[in-house]
Amino acid sequence: MTFDFTTTLDRRHYPSTKWHRYDEDVLPLWVADMDFAVPQVIQEALAARIAHPVFGYGHAPTSLRETLCHWSHEHYALDIEPDWQQWVPGVVPALHVASMALTEPGEGVLTITPIYPPFLHVAENTGRKTQRAAMRPPTEDDPCWRLDFDAIEAAITPGTRLLLWCHPHNPTGRVFDDEELKHLADIIERHDLWVCSDELHCDLILDHQRPHRPLIQREPRLAARTITLWAPSKTFNVAGLTSACAVIPDAKLRARFKKATLGLMPSDNVLGLAASEAAYSGGEPWRQALLAQLRDNVTMIERFVARWPGVVFAPPEATYLAWLDLRETDMAKANPDVSPQQLLLEQARVALSDGADFGWPGFVRLNFGTESSRLEAALERMDRVLNAGSPP
Ligand SMILES: Cc1ncc(COP(=O)(O)O)c(C=O)c1O
């Protein structure tokens, strides 16, 4: 089977967050959606659903629930039950619901930075206290982002109740290994924390050596205190169809989560449900082709970054996001009061995400979920700024 990851689609044709924020001459590689057409199986499922022209309230059908059970078993050796699944209109809403369901006003919600920005606002948005622990950036001896367990222990207070955990990790692309998960689980148990494990990027593994292990698969002792969040939205590029799933094995925890959604969550998006079932039942060949394309894109980024003095980059083990440390570039050093994101926007006309929003100023996040021709055009623009010394 062949799939098309090269055709350029005009995304300005419809309102697109990614494509309408910046001027038309800017290449947008920021917010995490991809520029690829969704797989044919999803297009067909949506067309079939639209052919029945009634769009009243819907709910996740048994067939979808069973499809996700099968996906979980096949890909992650994790057996889940259909009734553990609480379908929700998004992962970020679920993070907020978890905070409201599991903590009291003023209690601590811990997150590990750098982190996908909404994590940093969940506590404040729900009247709780934000607590942060920083990761350890790559060094010459260890070119990998690492959890800093001392920092995690130091950030935890008696008021800490909930860990918002992101695995695989946005923005570093880390897929945490068994040892790291075990160490983390020890801390979680010792401090009696709830966990909301955002595993949205788990189907986007780039490094064959780093299979994703759901937190509760690797550490079943955490199952009764963990809400796992999955969705087809990143992998199959259907974020605008707002469908995600909270997998909650423990019945009491499930009831608590469900209660907190009442009156706040709309009923399930009927098109999102159709797309989700098509993705999990028929999207695998497309996903494999996507991963090959994304791996090629990482290789291209590595080729360019090798030419950019002062840029530190640990290739992601998962996701379509590249997290670049630009603090030591001439560009950043010459303009200490302006963020590298803003400098690249002005000087290269490439829009990236600003590391400051992830809790780490001086970094940028580049979304490489796009055609290689567009990625190359953006990297060439950045090359003219970051590699000003030596011509290509
Ligand atoms: C780790 C992570 N969680 C959640 C989201 C957003 O999920 P949703 O659109 O379902 O709220 C993103 C989007 O990029 C993400 O990277």
List, for residues 206-242, the tens digit of each pLDDT value. 999 999 999 999 999 999 999 999 999 999 999 999 9
Please choose from 34, 92, 196, 368 the residue to mutate so as to test ligand 1's pocket, defined by most ligand atoms within 8 A of CB.
92
Predicted local distance difference test score (pLDDT) of residue 392: 47
Residue of 116, 204, 212 with the most ligand 1 atoms within 8 Å of its CB, for mutation: 116
Residues 6 or more apart whose Cβ sits within 8 Å of residue 228:
197, 199, 214, 215, 216, 246, 247, 248
Q: How far is the CA of 30 from the centre of ligand 1 (A)?
A: 13
Predicted confidence band of residue 390 (pLDDT cuts 50, 70, 90): low
Nearest CA to ligand 1 atom 14: 32
Q: How far apart are CA 15 and CA 10, in angstroms?
A: 11
Are 170 and 319 in contact by the 8 Å Cβ rule? The answer is: yes
> Which amino acid, residue 379?
L
Residue 351 phi, psi (nearest 5): -100, 115
* Whole-structure pTM value: 0.97
pLDDT digits (tens, 9 = 90+) for 45-57: 999 999 999 999 9
Q: Choose the residue to mutate in 18, 172, 200, 229 for probing ligand 1, maximizing ligand atoms within 8 Å of C-beta.
A: 200
* 185/111 Cα distance (integer angstroms): 15
pLDDT tens by residue, 232-256: 999 999 999 999 999 999 999 999 9
Query: Residue 367 forms beta bridges with which residues?
Result: 321
Q: Which residues of 74-98 are buried (b: 16+ CB within 10 A; e: fewer)?
A: ebbebebeeebbbbbbbbbbbbbbb
d(CA 62, CA 72): 15
Mean pLDDT (the chain) is 97
Q: How far is the CA of 17 from the centre of ligand 1 (A)?
A: 14
Residues having CB closer than 6 A to ligand 1 are 32, 90-92, 116, 166, 170, 198, 200, 231, 233, 239, 244
Which two tokens mark 197? 């494990």
Distance of CA 233 to the CA centre of its chain: 10
How far does residue 92's CA lie from ligand 1's centre (Å)? 6
Domains, in order of start, for the chain: 11-39+284-386 (3.90.1150.10), 54-282 (3.40.640.10)
Nearest to 212 by CA among 287, 276, 133, 109: 287
Q: Mutation test of ligand 1: which of 204, 228, 234 has the most ligand atoms closer than 8 Å to its C-beta?
A: 234
Query: Do 377 and 345 touch, CB atoms closer than 8 A?
Result: no
Quote the pLDDT of residue 2: 87
Ligand 1 atom closest to residue 90's alpha carbon, by position in its atom list: 10
pLDDT band for position 389 (cuts 50, 70, 90): low
Give the model confidence (pLDDT) of 71-122 as tens digits: 999 999 999 999 999 999 999 999 999 999 999 999 999 999 999 999 999 9
Q: Which atom of ligand 1 is the closest one to the Cα of 119?
A: 3
Gyration radius of the chain's alpha carbons: 21
Nearest CA to ligand 1 atom 9: 90
